[in-house]
Amino acid sequence: NAGVTQTPKFQVLKTGQSMTLQCAQDMNHEYMSWYRQDPGMGLRLIHYSVGAGITDQGEVPNGYNVSRSTTEDFPLRLLSAAPSQTSVYFCASSRRGDSTDTQYFGPGTRLTVL
Amino acid sequence: AQSVAQPEDQVNVAEGNPLTVKCTYSVSGNPYLFWYVQYPNRGLQFLLKYITGDNLVKGSYGFEAEFNKSQTSFHLKKPSALVSDSALYFCAVRTSGNTGKLIFGQGTTLQVKP
């Protein structure tokens, strides 16, 4: 299994540009989520999904959209990038959304918005 | 509100000495606690978790953590530190009914010197 994969690894955008961060998992996990990591703030949840066709907002959802058309994929869209969205983005998945399940993380996407 | 605190931004320890990385939590209900490690320019790797049962949890790479309900703590420990243990460590918590949402501490950098 490849586990959780993310593309691209690095991206530079100009303010106002849009882009999609890709996330895929091959473990047949129902639960997937997106976090952003900023220095001194740990990881903060952006959006999550408990299964195909179901998404919900996390702690910091503004400026981001998600969809879950398949079990495997969970893309994160930035509609109009802002410098405040400069961060490292991690996708994670777990077998279910149960609180006891371990979440497995992808390698991350480092995004810079100029 | 649920929260996790890692009171030390950085912990320095000499190779071969025991190490402790501290974590305290505040939740309503039963806590499910996790430790993750992040090596430079990598994603988060799962180390261990406490769900129920024995308060001493053993995990990967010789790490262990002790759950203390009265002190609401979940400190990460290792009897003998290695230089290769140098990394960023995150404590996280979930509660029952809090579907999928991991609440992270801000992270502690561990530096192990030869």
Q: Give the per-residue SS3 of A14-57.
A: CCCCCEEEEEEECCCCCEEEEEEECCCCCEEEEEEEEECCEEEE
Contact yes or no for A90 and B105 at CB 8 A? no
pLDDT band at B41 (very low <50, low <70, confident <90, very high): confident
Give the per-residue pLDDT at B97: 62
Which of A27, A43, A50, A57 is the best mutation test for B, with the most CBs of B within 10 A?
A43
Count A/B contacts: CB-CB distance under 8 Å. Answer: 65
Digit-coded pLDDT (tens) for A65-101: 999 999 999 999 999 999 999 999 999 999 876 767 8
Q: Which residues contact B37 (CB under 8 A, 6 or more apart)?
A: B44, B45, B47, B61, B87, B88, B89, B90
Which of B99, B103, B108, B109 is the best mutation test for A, with the most CBs of A within 10 A?
B99
Residue B36 has pLDDT above 80, yes or no: yes
